[in-house]
């Protein structure tokens, strides 16, 4: 309920404890007051009720004033690693992709020169925080598995195209134009395209391309628009606002 540092100890029987005077292990009959006189039949009934109450093994709880609910009074002790309350301290250069020997030593430049160099690096498209080619190498390493395994789904790799089917759907390709480039035709009914349009229109364009292909009297069981590394539109916040040219 409250995370690993405060688990509920379900192994402990948390019935309300009895006084050492009442507890069967430590009780002294001389000190225990008699609730019933000798021979009272209600004495046996009361003993059965007491035994039944203890057998319920109810968890001893209390109402937390902040949570406004009943919480266990006892919790298990945490024997694992200490709970991390903050992120470990890191040097301010830990997020850069450049090596330490190649980074700019701002301390040796002086205040005026350091500020000027910092502005230049901030305005540069590729700087020492992300040198040229670093992002391309990262994406190439992610896409290398497609070429290694020969997997076409999820990639923009071209596949086999039946020329007869391609000629039949040429009117549809003319309508799509440069927005969608035919990559392959799978099992003669599934068409893969390299989609260059807006990501927000991808699903609708797939449905429309399927209609165009079927209008060419060609069986179509699916249209797949591959976008490669593109996951969202540039300068687009997902709503109706644009922050740059299309």
> In order of start, what are the domains of the chain with their CATH numbers?
153-226 (3.30.300)
**C-alpha distances out from residue 26 to 15, 82, 191, 227, Å:** 17, 39, 83, 77
* C-beta of residue 228 within 8 angstroms of C-beta of residue 155: yes
pLDDT at 168: 92
pLDDT higher than threshold 90 for residue 215: yes
* C-beta of residue 97 within 8 angstroms of C-beta of residue 127: no
Neighbours of 18 (CB within 10 A): 14
pLDDT higher than threshold 70 for residue 106: yes
User: Strands 190-195 and 222-226: what pairing?
Assistant: parallel
For range 197-224, the mean pLDDT = 92
Q: Model's pTM, two decimal places?
A: 0.47
Rounded CA separation 176/208 (Å): 10
CB neighbour list of residue 91: distance below 8 Å, 6 or more residues apart: none
Closest CA to 167 of 122, 207, 98, 216: 216
Average pLDDT, the chain: 80
> 165: pLDDT confidence band, cut at 50, 70 and 90?
very high
* C-beta of residue 15 within 8 angstroms of C-beta of residue 54: yes
> 244: pLDDT confidence band, cut at 50, 70 and 90?
very low
> 245: pLDDT confidence band, cut at 50, 70 and 90?
very low
In tens, the pLDDT along 129-141 reads 777 788 888 888 8
């Amino acid at each position: 309920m409250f995370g690993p540092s405060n688990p509920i100890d379900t192994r402990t029987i948390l019935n309300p404890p009895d006084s050492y005077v009442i507890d069967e292990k430590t009780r002294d009959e001389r000190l225990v007051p008699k609730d019933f006189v000798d021979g009272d039949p209600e004495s046996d009934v009361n003993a059965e009720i007491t035994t039944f109450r203890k057998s319920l093994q109810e968890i001893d709880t209390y109402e937390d004033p902040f949570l406004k609910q009943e919480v266990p009074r006892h919790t298990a002790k945490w024997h694992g690693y200490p709970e991390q309350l903050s992120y470990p301290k890191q040097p301010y250069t830990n997020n850069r992709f450049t090596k330490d020997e190649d980074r700019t030593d701002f301390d040796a430049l002086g205040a005026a020169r350091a500020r000027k160099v910092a502005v230049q690096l901030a305005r540069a498209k590729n700087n020492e925080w992300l040198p040229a080619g670093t992002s391309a190498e990262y994406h190439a390493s992610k896409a290398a598995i497609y070429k290694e395994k020969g997997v076409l789904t999820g990639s923009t790799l071209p596949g086999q195209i039946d020329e007869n089917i391609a000629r039949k759907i040429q009117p549809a390709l003319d309508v799509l134009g440069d927005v969608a480039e035919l990559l392959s035709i799978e099992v003669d009914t599934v068409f893969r395209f390299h989609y260059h349009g807006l990501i927000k229109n991808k699903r609708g364009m797939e449905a429309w391309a399927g209609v165009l292909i079927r209008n060419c009297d060609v069986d179509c069981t699916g249209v797949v628009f591959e976008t490669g590394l593109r996951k969202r539109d540039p300068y687009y916040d997902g709503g109706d606002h644009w922050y740059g040219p299309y």
